[in-house]
Structure 1
Amino acid sequence: MSYAEELREHARIAILRMLADAPSYTSNVSMMTDLLRRFGIGYTRDQVVGEIRWLEEQGLLNAEDHHGFVIATATVRGVEVAQGIVTYPGVQRPRPGN
């Protein structure tokens, strides 16, 4: 697996974990971009939107675009992936206790 693929899988699980911890399982791209940087994933807003769109296509979250301001909400399946209850190809599995 390439570095870019590994980073993408890390970003996807980080997004899902952020949503699982967020009130109403919902957050916006601006907040997620800032938090990803704190986790050492220096994604741009466009890259975060791209991952949100991918996660939405997989049924792991729902996204709404409000004139360029994207808001994401985790689905039940997305929360299960974030918690490590189920695995999903293309999303890193969280480590036990994390």
Structure 2
Amino acid sequence: MLAELMREHQRLVILRLLSEDSGYDLNESILHDGINAMGLDISRDGLRTQLAWLVEQGLITLSAIGNIQLAHLTSRGLDVATGRARVPGIKRPSPAN
């Protein structure tokens, strides 16, 4: 149960970080640092797993720059990040955020 709760929070943080970038995209290194800075410890492999899950849901797309993945927020992902849409498996943002 705790593991699933952590994944839901991690997925929301990924979407929120992407939504805060002016180009709606960040590389996995920045996402990794951002998630860990929020107190949601995640490995690089764990991050890649969450990114793949978000791609399957149509919330982000990925492209490669050498060995680094670049995540791009989709319009559906932006709706989820801001609470306008809901996807099971992702924590819903609180109204105060």
Aligned length: 97
Give secondary structure in 2 for the equivalent of 1:23.
Answer: coil
Runs of 4+ in 1 over 4 A off after TM superposition: none
**TM-score of the aligned structures, taking structure 1 as reference length:** 0.95
C-alpha separation in 2, matches of 1:47 and 1:68: 16
Partner of 1:76: 75
Q: How does 1:1-98 map to 2 (within 5 A)?
A: 2-98=1-97
**TM-score of the aligned structures, taking structure 2 as reference length:** 0.96
C-alpha separation in 1, matches of 2:83 and 2:62: 22
Give secondary structure in 2 for the equivalent of 1:88.
Answer: coil
Give secondary structure in 1 for the equivalent of 2:61.
Answer: strand
Report how far residue 44 of structure 1 moved.
Answer: 1.0
**What does the per-residue CA deviation read over 1:35-76, in whole Å, with 9 as the maximum and x for residues that have no partner?**
111100110111111101100011000011233200000000
Consecutive unaligned residues of structure 1, counting only runs of 5 or more, are: none
Letter in 1 for 2:26: S
